[in-house]
Amino acid sequence: MRVGVIGTGVAGSLFLAAAQARSRQIDLQGYDQIRSNARDDAGTGLNIGPNALKALRLHGGLAVDALRAVSLPWRRWLIALTDGTMLIDLDLSTVSENPGLRIRWADLYAVLRSGSASFTAYGRALEALEEDSSGRLVPIFRRDYGELTREGAFDLLVAADGRYSRLRELVDGPPRSSFPGIGTWRLLVQDVADCPFDDFGQYFCGNARLLSFRLPNHCAYIAGSFPCADFITIPDELKTTRAQRHFFNPMDTASPQVEWMLNKMEQNFSQLNWARTQEIATLNHALGGRVLLLGDAAHATYQTLGQGATQAIEDALAAADVLRAEPASPAALCSDYQARRQDRIEFMRRFTREATDTLLPGADPIAGSLAKAQEPFLTNLRQLYSDVA
């Protein structure tokens, strides 16, 4: 079976490395539109859930040591109000078997892509899709210098090219998106010796929320979420320091942690990365089982529980494990993968939506936060962090 992987971010690169290690009978080839070193400074920061570390450990510890070497452990989940009032301080060891990770996107890419670089062709953006005479799929790429190329036919293509997957669009059309009315910004702050926080914390002012944690090499990650009417794009009037400070500190009663974050937000305002919180409909496979979808290409969801990259890791390892069983056909592989992952993915999506309640306009962020230290939320959190195939 010849398998082509479109996109070598988290899901694609890990799938390639894990599948190569598990099955020498599969001809694997990866493609990425970004050059091999173009993600050296990519992105901001993210938290990876304990379930991803458990999945890696259960699958032979692939990349675990390398990831730990460039990250900090995620051990606690603090929720407070922006005036400093503490709501909960959850020790993750009470709901998980191991900590999660706090890591820079660039470091995550570097570790995972190191395991797949030898069989990945970079600088290739997917443009179109054809079939050969035997019904195998032939992707057409545009090279980074403009030339269109065909690089062979594949029995199976894997869509691992993210939330705006070109492969998914080609085989199933643009995915349906839903927007819950939440705008976000993200910022990586460097040289933060005076940073007044450490582990994962959330700080509410009404339904607006700041999120923060320290990262290695004297960096910190800050993210803001704020009510934003049901627009596809964030209105310009909300993209100002005055509007953002008003969301999180309207009464000028900020805690030292919040004041530090707002000052950094103002000082680095031009560097903010803006987005709308959204999710897309789940699609596990397409074209009669000739296309398998992984990670955000399959089920991009709200970022509330930090399950984007985490579920991409679970997806990649599950798909590689199905390959190891040597399925009879690409369609059988897709069917086996869906049987293994569908219930888990839908549980994660339902739970993530429920956990987003505190950010929705009109919701009570205090009652919603306090409920996250009680049942049934804790049982669901244990299931999320522990029930890894």
pLDDT in tens, 318-331: 999 999 888 999 99
Per-residue pLDDT of 189-203, as tens digits, reads 998 989 999 999 999
From residue 124, alpha-carbon distances to 39, 144, 172, 293 in Å are 15, 6, 21, 19
Beta strands in 199-283 (DSSP E): 200-205, 208-215, 219-227, 273-276, 279-280
**C-alpha closest to that of 381 among 359, 361, 343, 354:** 354
pLDDT at 122 over 90: yes
pLDDT band (50, 70, 90) for residue 39: low
* pLDDT value of residue 21: 77
CATH of the domain at 22: 3.50.50.60
For range 270-275, the mean pLDDT: 96
Q: Inter-axis angle of helices 377-386 and 330-355, to 10 degrees?
A: 150
User: CA gyration radius for the chain?
Assistant: 21
Domain that holds residue 24: 2-54+65-71+105-177+279-357
Measured between alpha carbons, how far is 252 from 83 in angstroms, rounded to an integer? 9
For range 373-385, the mean pLDDT: 98
* pLDDT value of residue 23: 62
pLDDT at 95 over 90: yes
For range 46-66, the mean pLDDT: 95
- Domain-embedded: residue 123: yes
Measured between alpha carbons, how far is 80 from 82 in angstroms, rounded to an integer? 7
State the average pLDDT for the chain. 95
Please tell me what DSSP assigns to residue 120.
E
For range 160-179, the mean pLDDT: 96
For range 109-115, the mean pLDDT: 93
- Domain-embedded: residue 7: yes
- Domain-embedded: residue 231: no
Q: How many structural domains are present in the chain? A: 1
- Domain-embedded: residue 89: no
Measured between alpha carbons, how far is 106 from 101 in angstroms, rounded to an integer? 14
- Domain-embedded: residue 370: no
pLDDT at 231 over 80: no
* DSSP-H helix ranges across the chain: 10-22, 50-58, 64-69, 105-114, 166-172, 241-248, 256-267, 296-299, 308-324, 330-355, 365-370, 377-386
For range 275-304, the mean pLDDT: 97
- Domain-embedded: residue 237: no
* pLDDT value of residue 35: 81
Q: Please confirm whether the linkage preceding 376 is cis (ω < 30° from 0).
A: yes
What percent of the chain clears pLDDT 70, i.e. is strictly above it? 97
- Domain-embedded: residue 185: no
pLDDT band (50, 70, 90) for residue 230: low
Cβ within 8 Å of residue 109, ≥6 positions away: 9, 10, 13, 39, 42, 43
pLDDT at 42 over 70: no
Q: What is the pTM of this model?
A: 0.96
* pLDDT value of residue 232: 72
pLDDT band (50, 70, 90) for residue 361: confident
- Domain-embedded: residue 379: no
Residue 52 backbone dihedrals phi, psi, to 5 degrees: -70, -40
pLDDT at 219 over 70: yes
Burial category of 269 from C-beta neighbours within 10 Å (exposed 0-12, middle 13-18, buried 19 and up) = middle
Q: Inter-axis angle of helices 10-22 and 308-324, to 10 degrees?
A: 20
Measured between alpha carbons, how far is 56 from 70 in angstroms, rounded to an integer? 16
